[in-house]
Structure 1
Amino acid sequence: MKISWKNRKKFVKPTPIQMDSKKMIHVENLFDSGLLPMLITPRIPDVDLTEWISNQRDFIEKKLSQHGGILFRGFNIQTQKQFQELTKEYIKVPMKYKEGATPRSKVTENTYTSTEFPSDQHIALHNELSYVTTWPQKICFCSIAPAKTGGETPIADVRRVYHRIDKDLREKFAAKGWMLVRNYGDGFGLKWQDVFHTENPKKVEQYCKENEIEFEWKDESHLKTKQVRKAVRKHPDTGEWLWFNHIAFWHESSLDPKVRDMLTESLGIENLPYNTYYGDGSPINYDDAEHIRKAYDQETISFEWKKGDVLLLDNMLVAHGRNPFEGERKTVVSMGEPYTPENL
């Protein structure tokens, strides 16, 4: 006896089509000239990037160690909420900003705007929070609204930057480390209350003691801090040597000459908002700082953001910055997987 389809379908359950996760995406280098960043795009419509990532952590970790950065493009990440769900899935231990140096807004619990610096300003390349005692191993960006022009996030592999630094200079920094000096209270840069997230000087002092930071209250509103950190480090997973610091980023020679002259005249060189030295406190000459900047420049690549792009970086392997831009630009960022070295 034949049974009609109308009756049969009551008992027949559709079988979902299974597809190999790796066959759902296409992998290539964004640029022919190098490995950074690796580009991942969907082969089929409506691939859920959050779900895909949850099933491919080992694959992503392997590729991230090799390339340093992965650009996910075409996955229809359109909102801050979607980005938050994505990073919540991948970055299992999120981190908040501490000892911050530039203004940014908190979007959600673990998502922030990228640095809210004036749009005509260039932000030099740096590894996020290289000067703290515990920094994020992963940092992830999403372009919610690309700028009309400019606004790229330039990146550089600091394994390669390390090898571009003159050997003698590199060894000098390896032996001495580097020192960051910050001065708060003169109206330039963030206030100490914003950096340390407290109005209580005693809590600032406790934080400094716990994080190997020297501090000096010049008066009740003016604070000077000094911290010495290693200039070169080995990656905890790959064992590769890295140029991992903010030495050139905050060196006085990186300031616009007119701004530097104005600040030096009004505050004195010892009271600049930021400055860097060798770890023993001796000055870094301008030629050496320029040599370091050129090493970054030689390894810097950038690409035009597209709406919904997600850029995942190993924060120890890859430095990032920001180019000037025109028009509205909205880029959000999340970071995590804290790492604390045995020796600072």
Structure 2
Amino acid sequence: MMQGLSVLFGRIQQARRWFSLFSPSISSRPSSPNTGETAAEMSGSLVGDGYTLARFGENFDIANAEETAQILMQTYGKASGSSYNTGLSVNRRSIEGSKFFDSSAGNPPAFPIHFHNEMAYSPRFPRYISFLMIDPAESGGCTTVTDNMKVESLLSESLKAKLRTLGVQYVRNLDDEADASSPEFFNSWQRCFSPSPDTPFDTLLHEKNGLHRNYCVLPYSERNRKRVQEITWAPAFHQHPRLGPVLFNSIMTRHGSWLDGHPVFDSFPLKERPYHSRWGDGTDFSDTEYEEISNAYKDATLNFSLQRGDLIVLDNLRMSHGRTPYTGSRRRLGVMVSDLVSWQGTEGGYPPLPSEVGRLFDEYRNNQRAPV
């Protein structure tokens, strides 16, 4: 461990000529760079505070930013970021041939991205995540961050107990690519699953439904449109390697209320919108429950108005992130993830389902129809 840290600190010392780094404590907002911080303090803030923020300036070199992010994420020389598009979510494009991907895919600028831990719905997820501001928005577009340990401390014991017992269902409603011209179109199962052109649809569903016991892809028809509903169960807590059990989820960013006010989806029931999250037993969060979760994240929020050349690195197993709405079309924020890790006690899969939830998923598959 100490030898690995020595190598890391040595690489960071070499990178110091490229940038000035500052990493305030969670209890304070950054105001100016601290150029006197040692390499140990730089990495230490990522460990102690859960994040580190660096400034390269407007004339930054993306290759230097990429290497620095990899150093801080302890993935230097590895293919970090190469697995980002395998997380059962949207596909993102590389920026300027780097290992940073375009974070804007699938996220309308007029709507916020609510707090989430990256890929918390997946069997594997990144240990760290980095964001590099390449082109700021005309207005808005702040990067928001929360410490999940703080969020957890603000939740009632009864709600935390329910989260531990039931976990969370994450739902995606996917259209057929043939409906791409419809105003109700958001994403297609073809884009998400990238099937071979000659793969029969039923074969695709069979293959997907065999991945994990707590994952199913079911056909259904709604509003005279053929769609696919993807349902995934995941715990709401995970075992942080240093901090013990920590809140870890994507409840808010996947909740259907994300699209409240949307010109098309606002009229849809929550469960029929492109994304939705609910209790692990398939019941919706009550208004009171969701409000409590939302308020806890709001009360723990840090806002970062990232400027061109700013890099922020997060401990994804501890820190949630999001984004405020913005105007203008030129905002580009690069995202890069570290190596992926698994839920503790598993080898690339999900932890065992609670018995009640397991029976529910078996029922989903037996009926071969989405429960909408």
TM-score range, shorter chain: 0.7 to 0.9
Paired position in structure 2 for 1:34: 27
**Is 2:111–2:325's contact at 8 Å kept on the other side of the alignment?**
yes
Paired position in structure 2 for 1:290: 291
Paired position in structure 1 for 2:252: 248
TM-superposed CA distance for 1:209, in Å, is 2.3
Decide which structure has the larger Cα Rg and report it. Answer: 1
Distance 1:261 1:112, change over 3 A: closer
Paired position in structure 1 for 2:359: none
**Is 1:77–1:83's contact at 8 Å kept on the other side of the alignment?**
no
Match of 2:84 among 92, 96, 105: 96
1:151 to 2:141 alignment: yes
Aligned length: 308
Report the 3-state secondary structure (helix = DSSP H, G, I; strand = E; otherwise coil) of the residue aligned with 2:127: strand
TM-superposed CA distance for 1:139, in Å, is 0.6
Paired position in structure 1 for 2:163: 173
TM-score w.r.t. length of structure 2: 0.72
**Is 1:158–1:243's contact at 8 Å kept on the other side of the alignment?**
yes
TM-superposed CA distance for 1:133, in Å, is 0.5
CA deviation profile, 1:17-73 (whole Å, cap 9, x unmatched) = x9x949x69776547x716779864459xxxxxxx9xxx5x7655431211110012
Match of 1:161 among 151, 155, 158: 151
**Is 2:146–2:297's contact at 8 Å kept on the other side of the alignment?**
yes
TM-superposed CA distance for 1:111, in Å, is 2.2
Instruction: Output the amino acid matched with 2:326.
Output: F
TM-superposed CA distance for 1:227, in Å, is 1.3
TM-score w.r.t. length of structure 1: 0.77
| RMSD between aligned residues | 3.4
Instruction: Output the amino acid matched with 2:254.
Output: W
Matches within 5 A, 1:182-261: 182-185=172-175, 187-199=184-196, 200=199, 201=201, 202-203=203-204, 205-211=206-212, 212-218=214-220, 222-239=227-244, 241-256=245-260, 261=266
Instruction: Output the amino acid matched with 1:173.
Output: L
Report the 3-state secondary structure (helix = DSSP H, G, I; strand = E; otherwise coil) of the residue aligned with 2:65: helix
Distance 1:26 1:275, change over 3 A: closer
2:256 and 2:331 map into 1 onto residues whose CA distance is 29
Distance 1:303 1:96, change over 3 A: closer
1:286 and 1:153 map into 2 onto residues whose CA distance is 26
Q: Higher mean Cα deviation, 163-172 or 203-212? A: 203-212
Report the 3-state secondary structure (helix = DSSP H, G, I; strand = E; otherwise coil) of the residue aligned with 2:66: helix
CA deviation profile, 1:100-126 (whole Å, cap 9, x unmatched) = 545643323632111243332211111
CA deviation profile, 1:157-179 (whole Å, cap 9, x unmatched) = 11111111111011011111111
Match of 1:83 among 43, 65, 68: 65
Which 5+ residue runs of structure 1 have no aligned equivalent? 1-17, 45-51
Q: Identity of paired residues, percent?
A: 24
Distance 1:222 1:326, change over 3 A: closer
Report the 3-state secondary structure (helix = DSSP H, G, I; strand = E; otherwise coil) of the residue aligned with 2:210: helix
1:292 and 1:260 map into 2 onto residues whose CA distance is 23
Distance 1:154 1:144, change over 3 A: same
**Is 2:148–2:318's contact at 8 Å kept on the other side of the alignment?**
yes
Which 5+ residue runs of structure 2 have no aligned equivalent? 1-9, 177-183, 352-372
Report the 3-state secondary structure (helix = DSSP H, G, I; strand = E; otherwise coil) of the residue aligned with 1:281: coil
TM-superposed CA distance for 1:270, in Å, is 4.6
CA deviation profile, 1:214-241 (whole Å, cap 9, x unmatched) = 12233796212211110122212322x3
Distance 1:167 1:122, change over 3 A: same
Report the 3-state secondary structure (helix = DSSP H, G, I; strand = E; otherwise coil) of the residue aligned with 1:86: helix
TM-superposed CA distance for 1:194, in Å, is 1.8
Report the 3-state secondary structure (helix = DSSP H, G, I; strand = E; otherwise coil) of the residue aligned with 2:336: strand
TM-superposed CA distance for 1:204, in Å, is 5.7
Distance 1:303 1:109, change over 3 A: closer
Instruction: Output the amino acid matched with 1:158.
Output: N
Report the 3-state secondary structure (helix = DSSP H, G, I; strand = E; otherwise coil) of the residue aligned with 2:115: strand
Report the 3-state secondary structure (helix = DSSP H, G, I; strand = E; otherwise coil) of the residue aligned with 1:218: strand
